[in-house]
Amino acid sequence: MDKLQWIKQLVLAEQQMEESGIVDLSSDFDTDKHLKDETLDFLIDLKTTFVELSSAFNQLKGSPMGKIKIYGISKTPADFMLFRNAYKLIFSAQAPGEIAIRFNHIGNSYIPGQKAAEETSLDTDIITAEWGAYAQLVWKYKDHKVNMDHLVRYYMSRFVKESAR
């Protein structure tokens, strides 16, 4: 997302006022749009960080076995997942201001005469945005403020440990 979008909107509103000669006092901050944009920005920032860390992990590992792959999720603007050894770590916007983080495992379940892959969701964490001072969004998990560096370190470490063979 464009970090200067809000200033562009201010300029556009002022230009419209100058052209029409009408001052729109009801013009206000669009909280719904801001919440949606910030949710996408947060996911994009997360993905960028995970791409960098996964690349470093894969380079340091050296072996082609057990490398971390990152995929975008189709028909979504910013959702993504990490994949390794039949494990998935999925980050997805559930709604504006709500991001789900879910571990899935693809395993085989035994059906007599048939072998099928079955995907099991291990657990889901929800991060929510709350309005702070001056229309700042504060991301929280279970009422605790989220630090992106700590969030990434936690999930990357957990993903690597759980997906190790």
Distance from C-alpha of 139 to C-alpha of 94, rounded to nearest angstrom: 14
pLDDT at 3 over 80: no
Of the candidates 126, 125, 135, 134, the one whose C-alpha atom is nearest the C-alpha of residue 33 is 135
| pLDDT for the residue numbered 114 | 43
Decide if 3 is inside a domain. Answer: no
Burial 130-158 (b: 16+ CB within 10 A, else e): eeeeeeebebeeeeeebeeeebbeebbee
**Token code pair at residue 139:** 């991301």
Decide if 116 is inside a domain. Answer: yes
Decide if 131 is inside a domain. Answer: yes
Decide if 118 is inside a domain. Answer: yes
Decide if 101 is inside a domain. Answer: yes
Decide if 81 is inside a domain. Answer: yes
Of the candidates 47, 44, 50, 32, the one whose C-alpha atom is nearest the C-alpha of residue 3 is 44
pTM listed for this prediction: 0.80
Tens of pLDDT, residue by residue over 5-58, are 778 877 887 888 888 887 766 556 678 888 999 999 999 999 999 999 999 999
Cβ pair 99, 111 in contact under 8 A: no
> What is the band of 142 on the pLDDT scale with cuts at 50, 70, 90?
very high
| pLDDT for the residue numbered 108 | 57
Domain hosting residue 59, numbered range: 31-163
> What is the band of 113 on the pLDDT scale with cuts at 50, 70, 90?
very low
| pLDDT for the residue numbered 110 | 42
- Give the number of domains in the chain: 1
Decide if 157 is inside a domain. Answer: yes
| Residue with more model confidence, 125 or 122 | 125
Decide if 12 is inside a domain. Answer: no
Looking at the DSSP bridge assignments, the partners of residue 82 are 70, 89
Distance from C-alpha of 125 to C-alpha of 134, rounded to nearest angstrom: 27
| pLDDT for the residue numbered 7 | 83
pLDDT at 111 over 50: no
